[in-house]
Amino acid sequence: MSKASVSAADRKAYIVTGPTSGIGRLAAIELAKHGMVILVGRNLRKLDEVASVIQQKKQLAISIACDLSDVQSVRRAAAEIIALNLPIAGLLNNAGIMQMRSTTNALGWDTTFATNHLGPFALTEALLPHLPDSARVIFVASGVEDPKRTPAKAAGFRGGRFISVIASTRGEWQPGGSSNPGFDAYATSKQCILAATMALARENPRLRINAIEPGFTPNTGLGRDANAAFRLVANYILPLLAPFIRYWSTPKRASRLEAKVLTNQSGQTGIYYDERGESMLGSTLVQDRGFQDRVVAETRALLSSV
């Protein structure tokens, strides 16, 4: 934990995962205008750098170490956050990865699925009982989960390829997926966390649980393990074309959207916001309540075995 004072407990507190890069970094800095920010990430040095940017503006931030691909690390982080006894107004599940080549975590689970679905789900479930009524929870999803999303198809995605939660941990996806296996892991992880968002919103009407698709946002760290040619296109060429690409956004715009939805005082819950802050629909599968409940039940069963 950084040296920031946690004594101003009368202020609202906002939890942000993945505040060390891209959209999350700017969202954390924006949210610090509204209250104390609890920065949750895997690299304490990077967290403390963001905390010091916030503290230099006489705003409050503290750092909590948490590797979202590791369930035990997530549980330790949740316990640390709970022990702070702060008035949590919002939880922004922003952290995520998109790997070009799949890797596995210490348990042998697909790292993308663990980081993008299991970790945020476990963190949220651990914190839920400690959130006051009307607190806000956001999951950052992605439109690539929808196999019908045309620009995502053009980029090589084939939508979520869900078989089961267990199969996803093994990196097994429905046949007919992307030629890039990392894309199937990413799309399926986002499909699961989006489905879980809708189920959790129904289960917890006292809270405001929503999802965001930030839009196609170049110049973040996403896909950072890609080869040099891919990164050249993503970081230098696509940004030039981005204004002409549907669903385009920028890190600044996307971060403002995350902060706006997290601090929004309206009672809306179970909404999936697009990059303009308007309500959108997920894939046909995600809209199916049976699928939403199945994902949550299988995820809980898996996590309870760890």
Contacts with ligand NAP by CB under 6 A lie at 17-18, 20-24, 41-43, 46, 66-69, 94-97, 115, 140, 142, 214, 216-217, 220-222
Minimum distance of ligand NAP from residue 162's CB (angstroms) = 17
Minimum distance of ligand NAP from residue 251's CB (angstroms) = 6
Residue (13 or 97) nearer to ligand NAP, CB: 97
- In the chain, the amino acid numbered 24 is G
Strands 136-140 and 208-212 come out as: parallel
Residue (187 or 198) nearer to ligand NAP, CB: 187
Residue (35 or 41) nearer to ligand NAP, CB: 41
CA–CA gap between residue 124 and residue 229 (Å, rounded): 37
Minimum distance of ligand NAP from residue 288's CB (angstroms) = 22
Minimum distance of ligand NAP from residue 259's CB (angstroms) = 13
85-122: burial string, b at 16+ Cβ within 10 Å, e else: ebebbbbbbbbbbbbeebebbeeebbbbbbbbbbbbbb
Residue (20 or 210) nearer to ligand NAP, CB: 20
3-state secondary structure 168-232: HHCCCCCCCCCCCHHHHHHHHHHHHHHHHHHHHHHHCCCCEEEEECCCECCCCCCCCCCCHHHHH
Minimum distance of ligand NAP from residue 267's CB (angstroms) = 25
- Identify whether the C-beta of residue 12 lies closer than 8 Å to the C-beta of residue 89: yes
Residue (5 or 279) nearer to ligand NAP, CB: 279
